[in-house]
Amino acid sequence: VFRRSLSTFSLLLFLLSLALAYQPVKVRYGVHKEKVRIVLDLPKKVPYRVFTLKSPYRVVIDLKSPSLRIKSLRLPKSFRYKVGKHPWGVRLVLLTPRAYKPKAFYVERPTRLVVDLYRGKARAVKRKKRKKVFKPYTIVVDPGHGGRDPGAIGYGGIREKWVNLRIAKYLAYYLNKDPRFKAVLTRRGDYFVSLRRRALIAKRHKADLFISIHADAAPRKNPRARGTTIYALSYRGAVSTKRKLVKDSRLARKLLSPDATDYRVRYILSDFGVRATLENSTRLARLIALEMKRVLKREVHFKGIRRRNFLVLKVPGTPAVLVEVGYITNPTEARRLRSPRFQKKVAYAIYRAIVRYFNFKPYRGVYLVERSLRRSKAKVAR
């Protein structure tokens, strides 16, 4: 269960944080005989990282400066791309039709980062080296409620805060077993943590993803209400707020900044970063839905994906979802939510979704856990 009343206010805060001085980046290209040259026009020299991935072939360009925004982007027709806004800066992923060997360097006056993509495969030796320096993705796992805030009280007195923590801990366990991830819990025991503090934890750890775990309760504890709902940050909400702000310049000045002209508001809201964050939240929500259906099968009644703006999801630049795992007011679902086997399965499904989100294959060490789950299921069936 979560609070809705703060929604509009929290979205505005979200936008406010984005309104802080941005610095535009232009991306253009040139095709030469032996290479494709990608040129990034930058306002200043910033730390960067360029590396490649395969299946599918990708060239990843990380620009480490939180104030950068990609303003315009021109790329060869055969390239597709994704832009990700992160707390540390901007990630541009080029999906290339073939393997390229990148070489990056700066050119001054004006400042440009040149990334030359040479045809020809990167050598296997180099790839091994890269694996060693791979920095794991930080996933912030947020068990709802805690301490003096018990969340919903369900069938047989089961408490939401307890269920949330159990599932979150299993999820952190799976993630930490996989060297490609690092899980950070917003609380590790039964104590109170404010919503603002949870968002701050994500910001401090430069979270790549934020996942909040909750369980639902029906009004008047109606025992028939059931099902799983996943919430992603709302794009439509952002668009309607945009309209409101563009129409009402006095409100915009008050909420964004004293010099928030219509142009500025429009610019902020059409920002690539905002759109990428919202789209990535929805993509993650869809993957969680798919994996929950795959792992839990008939044990999950899926109600759908909804989009909403709420405070815990307001981590600028970090795609975020909130999972209402089931109804603790429903006797059947309460029994499942209480069982460690079910809790593990839910956590495992979310782990699988995260793996797919980053276009990874499941890690072998975590696959073993899935096998042990299958065994325990077989035991139950007997």
- Yes or no: say if 42 and 112 are a contact pair by the CB < 8 Å rule: yes
The CB-of-1 to Zn ion minimum distance in angstroms stands at 4
CB of 108 to Zn ion, least distance (A): 53
∠ at Cα 90 (276, 111), nearest 5°?
A: 135
How is residue 354 annotated by DSSP?
Answer: H
The answer to the question of residue 107 lying near Zn ion (CB under 5 A) is: no
Task: Please choose, from the candidates 273, 276, 269, the residue with its C-alpha nearest in 3D space to the C-alpha of residue 240.
Answer: 269
Minimum CB separation of residue 251 from Zn ion in Å reads 31
* Residues from 126 through 145 that contact Zn ion (CB under 5 A): 144
Nearest CB to Zn ion, comparing residues 154 and 317: 154
Near Zn ion in 196-255, by CB under 5 A:
214
Residue 190 Cβ vs Zn ion, minimum distance, rounded to whole Å = 15
Q: Does 169 bind Zn ion (CB under 5 A)?
A: no
Smallest separation, CB 302 to Zn ion (Å): 18
Closer residue to Zn ion in complex, CB, 25/347: 347
Q: Is 182 in the site for Zn ion (CB under 5 A)?
A: no
User: Does residue 187 interact with Zn ion by CB under 5 A?
Assistant: no
**Piece of 54-62, 151-159, 310-318, 374-382 that binds Zn ion (CB under 5 A):** 151-159
Which of 143, 151, 273, 317 contacts Zn ion by CB under 5 A? 151
Cβ-based nearer residue to Zn ion, 68 or 312? 312
| Long-range CB pairs of 111-114, under 8 A, 24+ apart, other chains included | 111/41, 111/42, 111/43, 111/44, 111/45, 112/39, 112/40, 112/41, 112/42, 113/39, 113/40, 113/42, 113/48, 113/61, 113/63, 114/37, 114/38, 114/39, 114/40
CB of 164 to Zn ion, least distance (A): 7
Is 61 in contact with 51 (CB distance < 8 Å)? no
Closest CA to 170 of 310, 320, 295: 295
Closest CA to 56 of 382, 361, 367, 369: 361
Choose, by CB under 5 A, the member of 1, 20, 107, 239 that binds Zn ion.
Answer: 1
Q: Which residues bind Zn ion (CB under 5 A)?
A: 1, 144, 151, 214
